[in-house]
Amino acid sequence: MIENTLGVPSEWTSETVRANGIDIHYVRTGGDGPALVIAHGAYDDALCREPLIDELAEDYDVLAYDARGHGRSSAPKSGYEMDERVADLVGLLDALGIDTVTLLGHSMGGDTVAATAAVHADRVRALVLIDPAAMLLPIDDSRDPAAEARETISEWHTHTKGELLERDPDIIELLNTGERRLAERLAEAQLRVDPAMTTVFEAGWLDPQETYPKIEAPTLVLKADTDEDGRERDREIAGELPDGRLVHVDGAGHTIVRDEREVATRELRAFLDSI
């Protein structure tokens, strides 16, 4: 595979646009298919979704962007609240002249794309929420998730990429299964994530009871495996979506498209093909 200096496949675009007052970096496959935009989770960046981008590139014009405070996008000290994250995404679409889009988001990115779909219903063709933060179990009130996140990021930043490849359990698991390229993507993302983004945790996650009923687009929710009580809770929350479909992926943890890639991709493609 031929790559540019950033390690991005040469057939993809890797550029930065100015939107909502910051620089937003993205990778884009191009092609003649409809636009599909991918929003990553709290500690990832665009290239952490490279296997999914590859999978969808033949049928879609796939664009994956680095959220503020991540990857090669700007890392301002503020602006990590939901309204600003939505404005970043919409600003990116405007800058690139994309009017109608399918949005796919994981965890933090799942909340971002859900909020965007609720506010800009006329622009969203379909929506995919992969274990969205809004549907995760509530965090123990005795914990300070923002402080914990800052500590985690600070610890990552004391290491080199090579050291992270030998320390992080998720990365080691990828290496053990022969996925070195993706393991390196995760390590690189950990080194680039800025501590400023931890204010995302202070701002709190989206309220699905408030937001989901406003989403008009057909929506697929892919959820991690859980017990029957957890599944019932998920069904109640997903039931707030006017046109929603919930799929629990057996054996999958929070990173569903990585944990159970074949099953998750099959469900994703079946949904997209039905739109």
CB atoms within 10 A of CB 37: 26
Please report the pLDDT score of residue 5 as a whole number.
Answer: 52
Find the domain containing 24 and state its range: 13-140+203-274
> Residue 170: inside a domain, yes or no?
no
Please report the pLDDT score of residue 3 as a whole number.
Answer: 55
Overall pTM > 0.85: yes
> Residue 89: inside a domain, yes or no?
yes
> Residue 117: inside a domain, yes or no?
yes
The total of structural domains in the chain comes to: 1
> Residue 126: inside a domain, yes or no?
yes
Please report the pLDDT score of residue 4 as a whole number.
Answer: 58
Please report the pLDDT score of residue 10 as a whole number.
Answer: 82
- Dihedrals φ, ψ of 168, to 5°? -75, 125
Q: Is 98 helix (H, G, I), strand (E, B) or coil?
A: coil
> Residue 247: inside a domain, yes or no?
yes
Please report the pLDDT score of residue 1 as a whole number.
Answer: 47
> Residue 7: inside a domain, yes or no?
no
Q: pLDDT (tens digit, 9 = 90+) per residue, 203-220?
A: 889 999 999 999 999 999
Give the CATH number for residue 257.
Answer: 3.40.50.1820
User: What is the torsional sign of CA 165, 197, 221, 138?
Assistant: positive
In this prediction, the residues of the chain whose per-residue pLDDT falls under 50 are 1
Is beta strand 101-106 parallel, antiparallel or unpaired with respect to 35-39? parallel
Residue found under tokens 């998750």: 264
> Residue 3: inside a domain, yes or no?
no
CB atoms within 10 A of CB 33: 15
CA 25 to chain centre: 14
Q: Is 224 helix (H, G, I), strand (E, B) or coil?
A: coil
> Residue 134: inside a domain, yes or no?
yes
Please report the pLDDT score of residue 138 as a whole number.
Answer: 77
